């Protein structure tokens, strides 16, 4: 009896193990990205930021590639814009400042530019500054005591502006004395010019290097008198196409605004940041004199053209603008423009160390592997199990550069039912320690993380329908729907115990749609078509369809095929085999017992 009991218990255990093995193979899963990116954590004074992103995922293999970044970039910089370690700054100033009546103003410009440059070089010695002087055709005229204009013999009012109406007076340097001396020595002839801002911008643009961050600052606080191809003097009447002087003035101003504005907008395409002084709207109000008599001919309101060229303070044409109406030149140059530039000229981040901590779900269920080496610094080859972290020793991160680390996390077991539908953070937190430009110890913590989830791939609901009889009948027809998965009950249909077969008897021909819903709430619509019930004494060809497929856009079945539940099939075979074996052993044991 004891031996018999032992055999039965062994059989039951084998059945349970066999069932578990068969059922586990049915679990199909994939790894899904729930949150692709972490939040961005900015460093002190917006020096840079830390971020973490899932850059690649293999759903079937349960593998994600995670990218960690430490960027020494400005907060508002376009991540798609290429940045460089070195920065070049060009300052445009009008050479007319060198004439005697502007001597005091020139001293101010030199003083403020010196303060500005000194502060920049103290923060970043790799930054260089150049000076472009703005010129134009010679302006030789004055207003006499009678209020009439008098033109000198050198006046070039009829000469069109050209590309050579500007020059580099100080090449790129980080030497303060070079900058000061270059400004002092410009325009040695002390000539007055009709200013050509378009030419100055064009010369400055071509002076920048290709491999540097570019910043252009214009300290010209009025509007240009000429542009390339446009002179200062106007004419009308005859063949000019203008019947009045006002028409000619409007045409001239529109051309200057158009060509100069196009030059400003070209800076954006060339990735050159632009900072400028905006003149008052009334700075373009003009007095026009008759060239022959010197008499005042017209007072012209040019404020509209100031707005068209530069934009408004709230909405500049391009770049950032400051107005002498609101602030002093000293404050604009030495404070506001300086702060703007420092957003682009980044200080190095020194002694940077980043520790990436992983949660228990990652440690226990995922394999860790670095993807190549980081572009800067050294990283741990594996996770330190004492504190569940890796250490990335970055060292010094120069301005406008980004340190990047990539690693893979691969799920060990895709059939781990405990992880199904569980949201998992790829990391617990990131701690960064570093020294700023003043060598002060700083730190930042990124607590946000990308997230992943293992989800079960649900089997599609598949069904077929058949009829009995299939030939013409004067009685009833029974429709049978067979499915590959248990479905919920359907009103009017009889359901089998395993909920995989539904039957219904029809007494009349009918077309209808039956909605099937399985336990995963997946739906399938089955078309029922009874058309072989005939009245007595009538005949009909016995060639109706005996089996109909489901009509549904998502139906992937083939005609007359019922997919078996493979797992349950194996289980049934295993049970039958083990049961037979048990009976055989029991009888054999009983037989020998009687001997």
Question: Does any domain span residue 81?
Answer: no
Which pLDDT value is given to residue 24? 39
Question: Does any domain span residue 264?
Answer: yes
Q: Which residue, of 456, 478, 506, is where some domain finishes?
A: 456
% residues pLDDT > 70 (the chain): 84
Residue 352's CATH number: 2.60.40.2110
428 with 502, same domain: the answer is no
486 with 368, same domain: the answer is no
To which H or E segment does residue 184 belong? helix 176-185
Question: Does any domain span residue 15?
Answer: no
- SS3 string, 356-421, reads EECCHHHHHHEEEEECCCCCCCEECCCCECCCCEEEEEEEEECCCCEEEEEEEEEECCCCCHHHEC
276 with 173, same domain: the answer is yes
129 with 189, same domain: the answer is yes
Higher pLDDT, 590 or 413: 413
Is the whole model's pTM more than 0.75, yes or no?
no
441 with 474, same domain: the answer is no
Residue 214's CATH number: 3.40.50.410
Which pLDDT value is given to residue 214? 93
Query: Is residue 316 over pLDDT 70?
Result: yes
CA distance 136 to 243: 28
Mean pLDDT of the chain: 85
Query: Do the beta carbons of residue 333 and residue 115 sit within 8 Å?
Result: yes
What is the mean predicted confidence (pLDDT) over 449-462? 90
336 with 354, same domain: the answer is no
523 with 386, same domain: the answer is no
% residues pLDDT > 90 (the chain): 59
Question: Does any domain span residue 82?
Answer: no
Query: Is residue 486 over pLDDT 50?
Result: yes
For 178, list phi and psi in degrees, rounded to 5.
-60, -40
330 with 425, same domain: the answer is no
Query: Is residue 499 over pLDDT 50?
Result: yes
Which pLDDT value is given to residue 594? 39
317 with 367, same domain: the answer is no
Over residues 173-195, the pLDDT tens digits come to 999 999 999 999 999 999 999 99
Question: Does any domain span residue 183?
Answer: yes
210 with 313, same domain: the answer is yes
DSSP string, 98-165: GSGGGHHHHHHHHHHHHHHHHHHHHH-TT-EEEEEEE--SB--EEE-TTS-EEE-TT--TTSPB-TTS
CA distance 91 to 183: 11
Over residues 371-409, the pLDDT tens digits come to 989 999 999 999 999 999 999 999 999 877 899 999 999
Which pLDDT value is given to residue 239? 84
Which pLDDT value is given to residue 18? 47
Read off the tokens for 292: 């022959």
Question: Does any domain span residue 292?
Answer: no
CA distance 155 to 149: 12
446 with 499, same domain: the answer is no
What is the mean predicted confidence (pLDDT) over 461-471? 93
Question: Does any domain span residue 212?
Answer: yes
At 538, the pLDDT band (50, 70, 90 cuts) reads very low
Over residues 98-137, the pLDDT tens digits come to 998 889 989 999 999 999 999 888 877 789 999 999 999 9
Query: Residues near 192 by Cβ (< 8 Å), separated by ≥ 6?
Result: 96, 99, 138, 139, 140
358 with 440, same domain: the answer is yes
Host domain of residue 403? 32-73+347-456
Question: Does any domain span residue 473?
Answer: yes
Over residues 209-256, the pLDDT tens digits come to 988 889 999 998 788 999 999 999 989 888 888 889 899 999 999 999
Query: Is residue 81 over pLDDT 60?
Result: no
> What is the number of structural domains in the chain?
4
């Amino acid at each position: 009896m004891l031996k018999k009991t032992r055999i039965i218990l062994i059989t039951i255990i084998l059945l349970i193990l066999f069932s578990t093995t068969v059922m586990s193979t049915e679990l199909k899963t994939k790894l899904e990205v729930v949150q692709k990116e972490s939040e961005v954590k900015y460093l002190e004074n917006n020096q840079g930021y830390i971020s973490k992103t899932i850059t690649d995922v293999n759903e079937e293999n349960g593998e994600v590639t995670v990218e960690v970044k430490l960027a020494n970039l400005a907060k508002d910089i376009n991540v798609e814009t290429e940045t460089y370690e070195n920065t070049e700054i060009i300052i445009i100033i009008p050479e007319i400042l060198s004439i005697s009546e502007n001597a005091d103003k020139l001293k101010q410009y030199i003083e403020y530019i010196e303060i500005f440059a000194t502060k920049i070089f103290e923060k970043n010695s790799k930054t260089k500054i150049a000076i472009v002087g703005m010129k134009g055709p010679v302006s030789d005229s004055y207003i006499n005591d009678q209020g009439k204009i008098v033109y000198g013999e050198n006046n070039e009012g009829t000469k069109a502006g050209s590309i050579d109406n500007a020059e580099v007076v100080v090449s790129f340097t980080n030497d303060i004395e070079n900058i000061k001396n270059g400004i002092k020595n410009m325009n040695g002839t002390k000539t007055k010019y009709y200013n050509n801002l378009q030419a100055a911008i064009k010369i400055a643009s071509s002076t920048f290097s290709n491999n540097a961050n570019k910043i252009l600052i214009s300290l010209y606080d009025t509007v240009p008198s000429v542009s390339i191809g446009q002179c200062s003097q106007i004419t009308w009447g005859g063949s000019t196409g203008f019947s009045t002087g006002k028409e000619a003035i409007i045409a001239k101003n529109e051309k200057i605004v158009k060509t100069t504005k196009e030059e400003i907008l070209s800076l954006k395409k060339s990735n050159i940041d632009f900072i400028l002084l905006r003149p008052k709207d009334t700075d373009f109000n003009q007095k026009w004199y008759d060239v022959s008599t010197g008499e005042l001919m017209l007072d012209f309101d040019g404020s509209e053209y100031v707005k068209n060229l530069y934009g408004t303070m709230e909405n500049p044409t391009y770049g950032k603008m400051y107005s002498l109406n609101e602030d002093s030149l000293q404050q604009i140059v030495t404070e506001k423009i300086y702060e703007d530039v420092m957003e682009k000229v980044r200080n190095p981040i020194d002694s940077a160390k980043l520790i990436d901590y992983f949660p228990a779900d990652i440690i226990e269920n995922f394999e860790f592997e670095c993807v190549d080496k980081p572009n800067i610094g050294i990283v741990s080859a594996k996770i330190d199990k004492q504190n569940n972290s890796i250490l990335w020793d970055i060292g010094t991160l120069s301005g406008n550069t980004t340190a990047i680390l990539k690693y893979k996390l691969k799920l060990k077991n895709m059939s781990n039912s405990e992880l199904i539908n569980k949201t998992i953070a790829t990391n617990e937190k990131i701690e960064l320690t570093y020294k700023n430009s003043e060598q002060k110890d700083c730190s930042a913590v990124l607590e946000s993380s990308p997230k992943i989830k293992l989800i079960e791939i649900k089997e599609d609901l598949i069904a077929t329908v058949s009829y009995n009889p299939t030939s013409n009948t004067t009685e009833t027809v029974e429709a049978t729907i067979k499915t590959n998965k248990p479905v919920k009950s359907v009103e009017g249909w009889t359901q089998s115990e395993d909920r995989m077969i539904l039957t219904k008897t029809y007494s009349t021909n009918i077309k209808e749609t039956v909605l099937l819903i399985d336990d995963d709430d997946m739906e399938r619509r089955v078309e029922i078509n009874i058309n072989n019930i005939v009245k007595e004494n009538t005949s009909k060809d016995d060639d109706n369809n005996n089996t109909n497929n489901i009509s549904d856009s998502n139906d992937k079945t083939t005609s007359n095929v019922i997919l078996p539940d493979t797992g349950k099939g194996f289980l049934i075979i295993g049970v039958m085999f083990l049961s037979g074996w048990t009976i055989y052993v029991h009888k054999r044991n009983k037989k020998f017992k009687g001997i």
